[in-house]
Structure 1
Amino acid sequence: MSGAPATEVEEAAAVASARRDGFGLGLLGVYGVSFGAVAVASGLSPLQAVVLSVVGFTGGSQFALAGVAAAGGAAVTGVASAWLLGVRNSLYAVRLTDVLPDRAPARTAAAHLVIDETTALAVRHEPHGRAAARAAFWTTGLVLFATWNLTTAVGAFGVQALGDPATLGLDAAAPAAFLALLWPALRRRRTAVLAVLAAAVAAVTSALAPAGIPVLAGGAVALLGLSPRWRA
């Protein structure tokens, strides 16, 4: 049979599929318009909101900082809350060790894109090979970064025209997509039990600890349950 070997054809198809999925998921960055509006309504200037999206690029942390600002909290409190929520991305980076680039410059750039969505889609495409997982990671990250920052600017500079950002409902898009990505894994009994346990720990901790700690506590439970030692 002429043409490329079957394995190469399959790999090319897997990479193409990963890129399509990444592009579609990356478009969810349009809910950055909600952050831009919320940030300005909380007291940040439009320019500050835009810069925060560029350098902070992790929605949960950004909304946490804006929430503290809206409540009149100190800057150090807002930064601490945002940092605690962002620490979860370091756990994702450990999971993506084999997906991220090997060389330092590219690895540093990739680190800025390690967030919920890029991790979820990369892990979902891992069974199809490293190339597919990398394609999913980079496509999701770059498209999401572009749409998030563009729409943050739209929301920040057009906040008066948008009205109450809470009525947009765009903030529900990302969690819904993330759940959809995880759903196949939740069909396995062990994973489902771990998910419920991690969620319960996070819910209980949220009543006792500052923002960020519940996420880390839930993540720690999941990591412990998935470790080779506890699988035995």
Structure 2
Amino acid sequence: MSAVTEPPAMDALAEAARPTAAVVRDALGVGIAVGISGTAFGVAAAGAQLTVWQTCALSLLVFTGASQFALVGALAAGAAPVAAVAGALFLGVRNSFYGLRLSERLALPRAVRPLAAQLVIDETAAVALAQPDRRSTRWGFTVTGLTLFALWNLSTLAGVLGAGALGDPAAYGLDAAGPAVFLALLAPRLREGGAERAVAGVGVALALAATFVVPAGVPVLVALAAVPLVALVLRFRARRGAGVAR
């Protein structure tokens, strides 16, 4: 009887372990793929004349790629530090909304919440919210966050040291790395449907138009107006559609 019952028991154990293994595999894939792009941030920061310790401090303390690239891109373009920081802060606000959604899904102990908050970014939220249950949500969030944090900071250091070893980043065109990567981060939103694509498109149009009339660093703040504008248009269309339906 034992020979008959052991295989099903082993199969059951394998089935129970498979979801966790799959979550870890996907989380590692995202963490590694995105983490190594910190090299580009290191190069961009060097192009903006940031020192090694300033660059590494940004990755350690800020740890949100879009805000970091927006900051160094604005500084490289000659923006005032206040405008550059304001733009980066506005972009980072979205992480607060991720945190609200993740708090219920993760249900972490109070003692670890401050540490977990540092890991709330686009990638960790995407992996965590794609999971079907709390256990896999925690695995996805933790593995993605720790992997990405470690690799992002290591690759940031490698990027800024490598760019510094080359001399003046502008001589190699490395000063364009920040704006280029920031646009690359925005590009996927243009391929999405609905409100995401509309906000991204309107934001790009507003930022481009603003570059001719406002100082450097301010266009990214002007682009934020895309959110309420698109929201008002969608709300108007929804009300109009409801009226026609009646």
Distance 1:220 1:146, change over 3 A: farther
Secondary structure in 1 matching 2:116: helix
1:133 aligns with 2:137: yes
Larger radius of gyration: 2
| Residue pairs, 1:198-217, within 5 angstroms | 198-203=199-204, 206=207, 207=209, 210-211=219-220, 214=223
* Deviations, residues 40-73 of structure 1 (Å, cap 9, x unaligned): 1101101110111000100111111111221222
Q: State how 1:149-188 maps to structure 2 within 5 Å.
A: 149-161=153-165, 163-165=172-174, 171=181, 175=185
Distance 1:97 1:221 in 2: 28
User: Alignment RMSD, CA only?
Assistant: 3.8
Gaps of 5+ in 1: 187-191
Question: In the alignment, does 2:79 pair up with 1:79?
Answer: no
Map of 2:112 onto structure 1: 106
Using the alignment, how far apart are the partners of 1:78 and 1:62 within structure 2?
Answer: 10
Work out whether 1:48 is the aligned partner of 2:57: no
Amino acid paired to 2:29: G
Consecutive unaligned residues of structure 2, counting only runs of 5 or more, are 167-171, 211-217, 240-246
Partner SS state of residue 113, structure 1:
coil
Change (3 A) 1:13 1:47: same
Q: Secondary structure at the match of 1:140?
A: helix
The percentage of aligned residue pairs carrying the same residue is: 39
TM, length-normalised to structure 1: 0.74
2:71–2:84 Cα contact (<8 Å) kept: yes
Within 2, Cα distance between the matches of 1:212 and 1:140?
A: 30
| Residue identity opposite 1:193 in structure 2 | G
Equivalent residue, structure 1, for 2:23: 18
Count of matched residue positions in the alignment of Structure 1 and Structure 2: 213
Which secondary structure does the structure 2 equivalent of 1:44 belong to? coil
Match of 1:30 among 32, 36, 45: 36
- Decide whether the 8 Å contact of 1:87 with 1:216 is kept in 2: no
For residues 66-117 of structure 1, the C-alpha deviation after alignment (integer angstroms, 9 at most, x for no partner) is 1122122222222111111101101111121223343222111111111111
Shift of 1:175: 4.3
Structure 2: distance between partners of 1:73 and 1:112: 27
Of 116-125 and 157-166, more deviation after overlay is shown by 157-166
Partner Cα distance (1:218, 1:5) in 2: 50
Contact 2:46/2:164 (<8 A) preserved? no
TM-score, scaled relative to structure 2: 0.70
